[in-house]
């Protein structure tokens, strides 16, 4: 599977997850078999003022993670162009967020708000394509609300703007994360356009990922929330959860810039969701240092 010149080794994609996708988390997903890694969304206004060294440190992408899609969020053409130029050197693919439903971003016309302003969306995507040689992608929802499901039209616009790959979260903005994912629209999008389509929404296991691929005919499948709890969802084989968590901490200590015990405790707590223990795992948040968190996990 290729996106532009970028080779994708398999059909499973790690979704962008703001507040979750630190370097160690992305690396653990990669070690477990994710074929394409997205960074979390990055605000174009924040990134465009940074030096190349700061951008490099901020993204902190390791070679073993590649290929990596760097996701941007913004609605202002000049800032977007500057942001593309800032991340280009470090990204294999550059993505525009067209699905975020956070109020602060919607107010500024970013994310899912662009589903209601197609001329603006088209101008932004064309500006990205004109700015970089790297493949550009877009991550959309299927529409604003049930009365305005325009996923197929948006996907056609995205393709015509010169974008190389599109991912589709099968919900409207109005739905947030509730209700069922609409895979019929994903299939219709796949049937109407030629660029690769990534299906996204509610995949809870490797096999349910395969079944979403079958139902929709899409080329790739993207996993978000299940990966937060199970970065091993990208592989079929059962894993030792404790070993996975210890590996996460090891990667974090080796590669992460922040070295924050709070961040490690968050991830450990999320990954312990399916671990059988009589301990109250919330208590991991009370631990003050990363080595103490490691000892806590070993004792479980
Ligand atoms: C905590 C959280 C953070 C997210 N951050 C982003 C983001 O930065 N960019 C984006 O396009 N989508 C973001 N999403 C949406 C996911 O990428 C994905 O589209 C959505 O969760 C549906 O997939 P899932 O059912 O596999 O989780 C986020 C979702 C969650 C729950």
Calculate the dihedral angle through the C-alpha atoms of 226, 71, 68, 180, rounding to the nearest 10 degrees.
30
Domain parsing of the chain, residue ranges: 2-234, 241-299
CATH 3.40.50.300 fits 2-234, yes or no: no
Closest CA to 67 of 38, 87, 24, 31: 38
Ligand 1: centre distance to CA 250 (Å)? 25
Q: Is the CB of 71 under 6 A from ligand 1?
A: yes
pLDDT at 83: 98
Q: Is the CB of 202 under 6 A from ligand 1?
A: yes
Of residues 22, 100, 110, 218, which has the active-site annotation?
Answer: 100
Mean residue pLDDT across the chain? 97
Q: Are 252 and 22 in contact (CB under 8 A)?
A: yes
Q: Is the CB of 114 under 6 A from ligand 1?
A: no
Ligand 1: centre distance to CA 243 (Å)? 26
Segment 251-276 mean pLDDT: 97
E strand or H helix that includes residue 169? strand 165-172
- The residue whose CA has the least distance to atom 3 of ligand 1 is 17
* pTM for the model: 0.98
Residue to mutate, 14, 15, 100, 213, ligand 1, most ligand atoms under 8 Å from C-beta: 15
Percentages of the chain per state (helix, strand, coil), in multiples of 5: 50, 15, 35
Active site residue 100: yes
Ligand 1: centre distance to CA 225 (Å)? 7
Give the model's confidence band at 275: pLDDT under 50 very low, under 70 low, under 90 confident, else very high. Answer: very high
Atom of ligand 1 nearest to the CA of 111: 11
Give the integer Cα–Cα distance in Å for 146 and 170: 12
Question: Count of alpha carbons within 13 Å of 153, Cβ hemisphere only?
Answer: 12
Handedness of CA 250, 252, 256, 262 (dihedral sign): negative
Segment 123-145 mean pLDDT: 98
pLDDT at 201: 98
pLDDT at 37: 98
**pLDDT tens, position by position, 38-97:** 999 999 999 988 999 999 999 999 999 999 999 999 999 999 999 999 999 999 999 999
């Amino acid at each position: 599977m290729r996106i532009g010149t970028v080779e994708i080794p398999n059909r499973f994609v790690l979704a962008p997850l703001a507040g979750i996708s630190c370097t160690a988390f992305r690396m653990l997903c990669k070690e477990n078999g994710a074929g394409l890694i997205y960074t979390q969304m990055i605000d174009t206004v924040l990134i465009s003022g940074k030096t190349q060294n700061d951008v490099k440190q901020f993204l902190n992408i390791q070679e073993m993670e590649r290929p990596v899609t760097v996701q941007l969020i913004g609605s202002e053409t000049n800032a977007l162009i500057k942001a593309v130029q800032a991340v280009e050197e470090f990204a294999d693919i550059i993505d525009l967020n067209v699905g975020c439903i956070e109020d602060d971003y919607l107010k500024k016309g970013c994310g899912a708000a662009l589903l209601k302003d197609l001329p603006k969306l088209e101008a932004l995507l064309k500006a990205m394509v004109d700015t970089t040689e790297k493949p550009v992608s877009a991550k959309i929802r299927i529409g604003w609300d049930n009365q305005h499901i325009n996923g197929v039209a948006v996907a056609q616009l995205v393709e015509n703007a010169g974008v190389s790959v599109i991912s589709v979260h099968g919900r409207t903005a109005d739905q947030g994360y509730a209700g069922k994912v609409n895979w019929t629209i994903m299939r219709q999008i796949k049937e109407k356009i030629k660029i690769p389509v990534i299906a996204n929404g509610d995949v809870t296991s490797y096999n349910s990922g395969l079944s979403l691929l079958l139902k929709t005919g899409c080329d790739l499948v993207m996993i978000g929330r299940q990966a937060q709890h199970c970065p091993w969802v990208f592989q079929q084989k059962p894993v030792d959860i404790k070993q996975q968590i210890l590996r996460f901490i090891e990667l974090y200590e080796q590669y992460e810039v922040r070295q924050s015990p709070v961040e490690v405790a968050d991830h450990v707590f999320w990954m312990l969701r399916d671990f059988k223990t009589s301990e109250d795992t919330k208590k991991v948040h009370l631990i003050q240092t990363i080595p103490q968190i490691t000892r806590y996990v070993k004792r479980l």
